[in-house]
Chains A and B, each alone.
Chain A
Amino acid sequence: MIENPYIPDLATINEIIVETPTIKTFRVTLNDPSRMEAFRFEPGQVGQLSVFGVGEATFVINSPPTRRDFLQFSVMKAGEVTTAIHELAVGDQLGVRAPLGNYFPYESMKGKKIVFIGGGIGLAPLRTLILFMLDNRADYGPITIIYGARTHNDYCYKEELKEWGERKDVELILTVDAGSPGAPIREGFVPTVLNEVAPKPEETIAITCGPPIMIKFVLQNLVKLGFGEKEIITTLEARMKCGIGLCGRCNIGSHFICKDGPVFSLAQLNSWNYEI
């Protein structure tokens, strides 16, 4: 008998954090304590959340593997499933199929400088890795985080942003698409701010996630800044149903975002002629 990959674990919502008017973060634990105890994952892996009767959607597990009291998912209200998830309350049941997909190659990043470039809800997968690196701080060089949102209200993880901003070993640069006058935050789109900050490519890994259009220009700008295509990492999204490389939606040629991704280097994407 092979394990049934379509049947989710049942899980309970323990805590809900309202991040922005459209984004909520859910902290869940699997109902079966032994399954929860045995649950292992790597930073960047995703899970499918189910609201029974509505359907499933894919989200990154944005809590780091180093903190295992709960699994955290951030959900932007957009379609049928995300709307249903937003309507859930603490104590409600969810289905979880996780972990799925690959993860950030954090071993090969050891000793390197790290630049994170995120936009909107795209900070979620980066958060996992940021927290993982902060929990293993000695393994990594200086960390720079460039994070943009549409407006001040659209920042996720505000508490953590505050904490990271105060840390000496993290450089945090925040930007908004349209700023309000006098605010102590930059104004400008993320790819533009990236150019202004102009991180040095030497011994540095750049990791980006955000809306497709942002990723597209960030990748272009990183190349212009001199980053090698193997040193540029992104994590992609697509319409997914199965999450295990079968249903046929999320493929880039013979590679599936759900199974072989979501984390890819620009070198990989280029070799598959993939254009965002």
Chain B
Amino acid sequence: MKREAGFIPKDGWNAFLASLAKRFNLYVPCREGETILFQPYHAESVICLDRPAASAPKGVIFPQSETLFSFELKKKAEDPRKVDVELKSEGAPQDTAIVALRPCDARGFSILDPVYMDVDPYYRSRREKTTIITLACPNPYPGCFCTSVESSPADKSGSDVLVTELDNGYFLEAVTEKGRTILDDNAIQDGAGYKEEAEGRQKAAHDRVKKAFSGGKKVKISQERLLSDEFWEETTAKCLSCGACTYLCPTCYCFNITDEQTVNRGERIRSWDSCMFPHFTLETSGHNPRTKKAQRFKQRVGHKFVYYPEQYGDLGCSGCGRCIRFCPISMEISKVVAKLSEEGEGSTKDAAEGARS
């Protein structure tokens, strides 16, 4: 029988990563100067588990840019003015694992799944080949609001294994069959005895997260405010439309498709794009349904808290707080949602105060 829980002592962690690296293309959070980023693992990697990475590891499964297919234009023998087109698509992805991403990032994948799994072969093949070994969050960071979206610092959704750091080591819980395979390793001890300690840690972290709005997944968005131009104009006056929020987000999935060509061959590329940019929706005719930043920001918030829920029955936000933490003008999406919610500002303020005290 496969193990459900495992334990790795502190000094066994590096060996665990090294053994994973033998089986997987391994991505780990690395310190790059002052920034934490997910990078391919190597023996000298400066791994940093102290705080969430600056950007979500979304790119491992949904790369920032990827080749959809390549094409070659071949002159026809009978008429050199004419060309035949030959299309080629890339090979299958390799076994990959992401280690020590936070539960909000793992949940990001579970938010992308219903969008992409059944229609997008690129996402699907990478997702199926990727094992997600998540590290439970020991405490909240500035801007974090995962509990407001009914997630938590120990949320298991999207993960295959959930790791909780304890005083003497790491407690590993298998979440999926893939996860059980990870635990099926002689170097990992049985962890059943550490379950209680881990749960204690998880609960303590949960209680420290600031509650930004109430209602969770059922947060009631006021149609009146959602449709009010004035509301959005006022809310977004300070927004720089800089787009950083969308690129760091674990759940933003808008993309662009562009062709690149040299002399007679080229590629069709998919790359991340941002709904915060005016040209995102600019039509060739010059018509643009979202010229104003108010309209674009409404799209971003609306997508995560209204449109996505209508399509998939869940919120399109995992509460990671990056868009708040890294926003150059402190736009606080959780506060915008609180203001949008039918309970209005007053009650959510109370909730926030209550959570802090």
Contact = CB atoms under 8 A, between A and B. Distances in A.
A and B touch in the complex (CB under 8 A): yes
21 contacts: A1-B121, A2-B118, A2-B124, A10-B87, A52-B266, A53-B73, A54-B259, A55-B258, A91-B82, A93-B83, A93-B84, A237-B283, A239-B280, A239-B283, A246-B115, A246-B255, A247-B256, A247-B257, A248-B255, A254-B306, A254-B310
Contact of B275 (A55, A78, A248): A248
Given A2-B118, A247-B254, A253-B307, A52 B73 contact: yes
Interface of A: 1-8, 10, 50, 52-57, 78-79, 82, 91-93, 95, 211-212, 237-239, 241-242, 244, 246-251, 253-254, 273
Given A53-B259, A254-B308, A254-B311, A248 B254 contact: yes
B302 interface: yes
Contacts of A56: 257, 259
Contacts of B84: 93
Interface of B: 68-69, 71, 73, 79, 82-85, 87, 89, 115-116, 118-122, 124, 227, 253-261, 266, 268, 270, 273, 275, 280-285, 287, 289, 299, 302-303, 306-308, 310-311
A6 B227 CA distance: 34
Given A10-B87, A242-B257, A249 B119 contact: no
Contacts of B256: 241, 247
Given A53-B261, A254-B308, A247 B68 contact: no
Contacts of A4: 89, 121
Contacts of A92: 82-83
A55 B259 CA distance: 5
A4 B268 CA distance: 14
A242 B119 CA distance: 11
Nearest to B76: A91
A253 B115 contact: no
B255 A241 contact: yes
B69 A6 contact: yes
B311 A247 contact: no
A103 to B, nearest CB: 20
Contacts of A82: 284
Given A2-B121, A6-B268, A52-B71, 18 more contacts: A6-B69, A7-B89, A10-B87, A52-B73, A78-B284, A78-B285, A91-B79, A238-B289, A239-B281, A242-B257, A244-B119, A247-B254, A247-B255, A248-B255, A249-B280, A251-B307, A254-B307, A254-B310
B255 A242 contact: yes
A253 B306 contact: yes
A66 B287 CA distance: 34
A109 B120 CA distance: 35
A247 B307 contact: no
Contacts of A1: 121
7 residue pairs, one from A and one from B, having the closest CB atoms: A53-B261, A248-B254, A79-B284, A254-B307, A254-B310, A78-B284, A241-B257
A3 B118 CA distance: 10
B82 A238 contact: no
B68 A7 contact: yes
Contacts of B260: 53
A34 B308 CA distance: 38
A28 to B, nearest CB: 13
Contact of A239 (B68, B69, B282, B307): B282
Nearest to A244: B119
Contacts of B270: 6
Contacts of A253: 302, 306-307, 310
A55 B258 CA distance: 6
B85 A93 contact: yes
A29 to B, nearest CB: 15
A120 to B, nearest CB: 11
A260 to B, nearest CB: 10
A274 B11 CA distance: 59
